[in-house]
Structure 1
Amino acid sequence: GYAGQPPIGAGHAGPPPAAHYGYPAPPAQPYGGYPGYGAYGVGPAGWAPAPNNGLGTAAMVIGIVSVVGFCLYGLNIVLGILALIFGIIGLGRAKRGEATNRGMALAGVILGSIGIVVGATILGLIIWAATSADRDSDYDSDPYDDPFATSLVVEGRG
């Protein structure tokens, strides 16, 4: 360089420090993390618990089986009740922020209710059909009387 000039870079420690206009400077992050997050992307509170979505999902699946399985002769009523219970508990968890699948839990409640109604209706129809068939058979005066019986009469030709 020229005589009397300091060497290049001497006397400069880099850019001037950033002013924060009355706010305290953010703390230095170890290992190059972003502000507001710790190192390696972990949030300030550490690991957050995973959402507890099991009951909402179970409510929806059991509700679907309850509605589709209308030929299960009453078992879908039990499944509908289970879907209703699981769905209500799942909705409570979603409301408290413990679960993220409020829609699935609500679907479980709705499908469980439909399954209970459909199952009760089908079971009622089956019971009605069975009792009315028994009632009809009690009024038969002649057990050998067949309304579908036919007879063939052959007349002599002359």
Structure 2
Amino acid sequence: MPPPPIAPDGPGQVPYGYPGGAGGYPAAGAGGPGYPAQGPGYYGWSGMHPLPSNGMGTAGLVLGIISAVIFCLWPVAIVVGVLAVIFGAVGRGKARRGEATNPGQALAGIICGVAGVALGVGVLVLVVATGSWR
């Protein structure tokens, strides 16, 4: 669909949805008078920091709690505990670099993961020592 014809005294106000933005304002990231041009897909002020990526630390904490709670299911508790330690360590690394804001959650995930692995190994030793697995 072609743009509407231009009036003799100038383009006037550009309708919404046509190139150049709505209401005479430049499109997002296009720059303009007093506004620096940003990269494609940029929707924010130029001075804003990116949002923290707290997912790894939170995942480490959740997996650590789960591994500590379900230690009676020792194979699952050991695997989930090891994953909690890995995710917690990655989360601590992100917090150290300033990419995340939850170093305490990541540390708690590491601690709970180690506790879950220790409890799972303890149940494994108990099962093997008593021979109740036969």
Scaled by the length of structure 2, the TM-score of the pair is: 0.63
After superposition, where does 1:118-137 map in structure 2 within 5 Å? 118-130=119-131
Counterpart of 1:56? 57
User: In 1, are the aligned partners of 2:92 and 2:107 still within 8 Å (CA)?
Assistant: yes
CA distance in 1, matches of 2:113, 2:84: 5
Give the 5 Å matches for 1:102-113: 102-113=103-114
RCO comparison, higher one (Cα < 8 Å, 6+): 2
- 1:3-152 superposed matches below 5 A: 45-130=46-131
* Residue 155 (structure 1) aligns with: none
Counterpart secondary structure, 1:74: helix
1:93 positional shift: 0.2
Aligned partner letter, 1:102 = P
CA distance in structure 1 between the aligned counterparts of 2:128 and 2:47, rounded to whole angstroms = 59
Size of the aligned set, in residue pairs, is 92
8 Å Cα contact 2:74-2:121 kept in structure 1: no
Identity %: 48
Distance 2:64 2:122 in 1: 16
Task: Find the aligned partners of 2:99 and 2:53 in 1 and give their Cα distance.
Answer: 6
What is the deviation of 1:47? Answer: 3.2
Where does structure 1 differ by over 4 angstroms across 4 or more consecutive aligned residues? none
* Aligned 8 A contact 2:59 2:87 in 1: yes
| Cα shift readout 1:79-124 (whole Å, capped 9, x = no counterpart) | 1100000000000000000000111000001111111111000111
What residue is the counterpart of 1:156 in the other structure? none
Query: Structure 1 stretch 72-81 or stretch 92-101: which is displaced more?
Result: 72-81
Runs of 5+ unmatched residues, structure 2: 1-33, 35-43
**Any idea what the Cα deviations from partners look like across 1:24-70, whole Å, max 9, x if unmatched?**
xxxxxx8xxxxxxxxxxx76x43321100000000000000000101
TM-superposed deviation, 1:73: 2.6
In the aligned structure 1, how far is the partner of 2:86 from the partner of 2:71? 19
Query: What secondary structure, in the 3-state scheme, does the structure 2 residue paired with 1:46 have?
Result: coil
Structure 1, unaligned runs of 5 or more? 1-29, 31-41, 135-158
- Separation in 2 of the partners of 1:109 and 1:76? 14
The CA RMSD measured in Å over matched residues stands at: 2.0
